[in-house]
Structure formats: C-alpha cells, structure tokens
Amino acid sequence: MQDTILYGFSLAGTWQNLGFALVGCLLGTLIGVLPGVGPLATISMLLSMTIYLDPLSSLVMLAGIFYGAQYGGSTTAILCNLPGEASAVVTVLDGHQMARKGRAGAALAVAALASLFAGVCATIVIALFAPVLSNFALRFNAPEYFALMLLGLMAAVVFSGAKMSKALAMACLGVLLGCVGTDVETGASRFTFGLPELSEGIGMVALSMGLFGLSEIIMNISKSDSREVMQAKIGRLWPSREEAGRAAPAAARGTLIGSLLGVLPGGGVVLSTFVAYMFEQKISKTPEIFGKGAVEGLAAPEAANNAAAQTSFIPLLTLGIPTTPTLALMLGAMVMQGIQPGPEVMVARPDLFWGLIASMLIGNVMLVIINLPLIGLWVQLLRVPYRILFPVILTICCIGAYSLEFSAVDLMALSAFAGAGVLLVAFGFPPVPLLLGYILGPLAEENLRRAMAISGGDATVFVTRPISLTIMLLIVALIAVVTLPTFRRNREVFDEQ
C-alpha cells in the first residue's frame, strides 16, 4: 500500500488539498493568461504563496500552479498570437489561425483536452518508470551526481539560444550568486558582507521573481503600445465531430513523442513540440492546411508540450536534476520545504513522492474542469488594461516576497534582480543559465567535494567510473554539436522557422 498511486490519492485527495489544487490552478491560469507573462514568470511570482503550507499541500498547490501557468500560456498564445515561452511557439501557428476563423472556443477546448490526455498518460509513465529509475540511481555516487549537474547546467547554456560566451558567463555568475551565504560544509560566511540577512544566501524567490517576473512586467509596459487585443468571438466551445476525429490521434502521437523527449535535459520540452508538429505535417494527407488552422497542428504540439513537461519531472524526482528552468524553480520550492528530491525521497518519504504523483493527476483534471467553463472569464481578463493589472501584480509580489522572511534585504534584492534581468536580456545575456547555475551550484559543489574526498583529490574519478564517463561524454557531445559549423547552420534555419 505504501508504494502505489492509491497511497498518493489517499494523502493528496483530502478536501483541503483539493482546495489548494483548485486555488493553485486558478492563480496559475490567472497570471499565466496575462499577455507576455510566461509560465516561468508566473511560477516565479506565485512561489511565495506556497511556502506557508505543509510540504504535501504545498506540492499539490505548486502542481496546480504549474499546470495553470502552462494552460494560461496556451490561452494567450492562441487568442493573442503571443507565445509566452518557446514551447508555445508551435501552438501559435495553427491555434491562432483557428481563433481567427472564429473557432477560438474549439481551439481552446482542443488544447485543454489534448493537454489533459497527455498529462494523464505521462503521469502514468512517471508512476511506472520513476521507481525503476530511482533504484538504478541509488547506485549513483558523488562523481555521477556532479557530472549530471554539469550536464544540466551545460544543457541550459547550449539551449539558451544566446552566444556561447554570454550564456557561459551567466552560468558562472549564477554559481557565484549561489555561493553567497553560509558554506554548508565548513560554516564559513561567503560574500555576506556582514549582513545577517544574507547568511542563508540570496533568496530564490527574490532572484527568480525579479529576474523573470518583474523584468517581464517592465518589458511589457515598455511595449504596451503594440498590444494586440483579441476582439474575435470565442464561438462554440466544443470541436465538431470531424475536428475531434482528427485531433484525437494527433494528440496521442504528440503524447508519445513528448513523453519520450521530455526526459532529455535542456531542450527536451521545446524540441518535442517542434518534432510533434513536423511529424503531423509529414504524415498528414493534407499538409498544405498546416499553418492555416489545422486542428492536428494544434493538438499534437499541445499534447507533446504537456507530456514532456510532465516526464521532465522524472530526472527531477529520481536524480534531483532539474532539466528546465521551471523545474529548477520547483526544485527550489521543494528544498525550501525541506525536501531534497533524489532517489532517497521515494524510499524515505513515499508519502511525498506518491502524493506528488497523485496531485499531478488531480491538477490536470482540476484544470480542465475549471477552465472549460471559465474560458469566457479568462478572455475578459485579456481585455483588462495594463494600468489595472500591473499595479495588482506588482503589489502582491512585494507582499509575497516580504512575507517569506520579513526581510527588507529580500525586497532590495528583488529590485536589483528586476533591473538586472531587463538589462541582461537587452544586452543579449540569457537569464536562464544564471538561474540554473544559482540552483545547481551549491548542489554541484557539495558533490564535487565529496567526489574529491572519496578519490583522494584524483580528478580523473569523473572519467574512470563508467556512468560518470558516459555523462561526461554526453556533455562533450552536446558542446561539440552546437559549436560544429554544420549544426549551427541547421539551428539557424530551425530558429527562423
């Protein structure tokens, strides 16, 4: 009983937790639906809300926020032709065209149902494979973990879409920022400049909320003249029988592709949406309608996106490695709750592991239940002017960030990171590697120390152990692939598409 999904439901399925899932979904959609505010920004701004709860309830609410933010992002993408993040770029192609033809309601319903199907399937994949992988991961030791973290960091650098030198610089800066605070191993204060508020390090909420949340608000207000307001009617909500018949198999194929690719570090989620779309176009009998409102072109990438977002939890839960920036925030939130994800969690805290899996299923179902009837409301929200929306978000962010530690330093940091976030992006420095460096840095340092202590200072330990060697070779391959000229040309073509 202790190691099945039913156990998870018995914990996560209480009325109280269902309530938190509902609130999470609502808040996630509410913020995620705002134009220009992608899932990463949404989660970074809502993180502070979950800290007050007990670990399981906070995981349940986080899962709700996660799905709400994803779905809210798709809604904006479809209605306003504004992808909030890279993985929604493909959704826009056919989704927005459907909306322009007066089928916005059907497009939103197809996206929601395809996401639900993909989410449920991928959660089952996690429930089946995560325990197996966890057992395997128990054989991992410090060198393997260090190598994995390096892989995660390098993937974030490589897939950031910026110049290699700038992305690497951001990763280094992130590692340095992660060093601020008390060194866990020796107890020495690092870069605290005598401020007691910094002894626990720079707050993750302040860093991510500033870097991704507030800086997006600044850019949105700056560009607000060009905001396209959706005037078209939503139309009938349900897809026609013919549309459903075409969307269902496409969603199934997208789910399969997403589930497989989601496990890859770095670009897995984004990649899966492109692959799913191109695959549909290839096997379609009418490839010419793609880009003009083909329902398959919406259902497949939406399903792939959601499935991949889901299976990307596998490396996080079994190894403690976040493969996407959103997962890095989820990891940070778990650590704040005193949960260190990794293979031990499943053995030591089966309640949390299965509770999370169950809450993923609950979150997925909850999302569709509340969102289909509320689509009209979200559309209204898109019409609310910025002069009302942004003061609300900004003030609530301030209250949220302050109430974590009651520290003025946190809010100063929030300000600094908001300004830095805008300037970094303006000058072509990607902020995502910084976040990954900041979160993975301390974990990597701990494992590097252990690895070196075990091997007696022998740095070859990373290439003499088979698993660690494999991961190191993967890193080399990853770097080689992006720096080699042929691939670079391909990637430029890919980026243009």
Partner 1 sequence: MQSKFEDFRWDVVAGGAMILIALLFLVVGSQLTFGSLTRMGPGFLPVCAAIGLVVLGAVVALEGLKGETAVPELPKLRPFLVVIACPIVFSLMIEWAGMVPTVLVTAVLARMAEPLKWGWDLVLVPIGLAAVGVFIFIDFLGVAIPAF
Min. distance of Cβ 385 from partner 1 in angstroms?
8
Could you give the C-alpha distances from 264 to 9, 314, 319, 458, in angstroms and in order? 28, 10, 13, 30
Smallest distance from the beta carbon of 76 to partner 1, in angstroms?
20
Q: Smallest distance from the beta carbon of 494 to partner 1, in angstroms?
A: 21
Quote the least distance from Cβ 336 to partner 1, whole Å.
16
Q: How far is the CB of 350 from partner 1 (least distance, A)?
A: 29
Choose between 227 and 349: whose C-beta lies nearer to partner 1: 227
The CA R_g of the chain, rounded to the nearest whole Å, is: 22
Q: Which two tokens stand for residue 1?
A: 């009983």
Q: How far apart are CA 177 and CA 201, in angstroms?
A: 8
CB nearer partner 1, residue 2 or residue 15: 15
- 353 vs 462, beta carbon nearer partner 1: 462
E strand or H helix that includes residue 374 = helix 350-383
Distance, CA of 112 to CA of 306 (rounded, Å):
10
Q: How far is the CB of 434 from partner 1 (least distance, A)?
A: 11
The whole-angstrom distance between residue 132's C-alpha and the CA centroid of its chain comes to 24
Which CB atom, from 9 or from 386, has the smaller least distance to partner 1? Answer: 386
The footprint of partner 1 (CB under 8 A) covers 49, 52, 163, 165-166, 168-169, 172-173, 175-176, 179, 183, 185-186, 188, 190-191, 214, 217-219, 221-222, 224, 386-388, 390-392, 394-399, 401-403, 406, 408, 410-412, 414-415, 418-419, 422, 425-429, 441, 445, 448-449, 452-453, 456-457, 459
H or E element that contains 190: strand 189-190
CB of 120 to partner 1, least distance (A): 31
Q: Which is nearer to partner 1, 132 or 377 (CB)?
A: 377
Q: Is the Cβ of residue 50 or residue 75 nearer to partner 1 in the bound state?
A: 50
Spatial distance between the Cα atoms of 323 and 263, rounded to a whole number of angstroms: 8
Q: Which is nearer to partner 1, 222 or 486 (CB)?
A: 222
Query: What's the min distance (Å) between Cβ of 294 and partner 1?
Result: 33
- d(C-alpha 59, C-alpha 309), whole Å: 16
Residues 6+ apart with CB under 8 A from 290: 93, 94, 277, 280, 281, 284, 296, 297
Residue 50's alpha-carbon distances to 59, 65, 410, 437, in angstroms, are: 8, 10, 17, 23
Region of 467 please: left (phi>0), alpha (psi -120 to 50) or beta.
Answer: alpha
Q: Which is nearer to partner 1, 101 or 190 (CB)?
A: 190
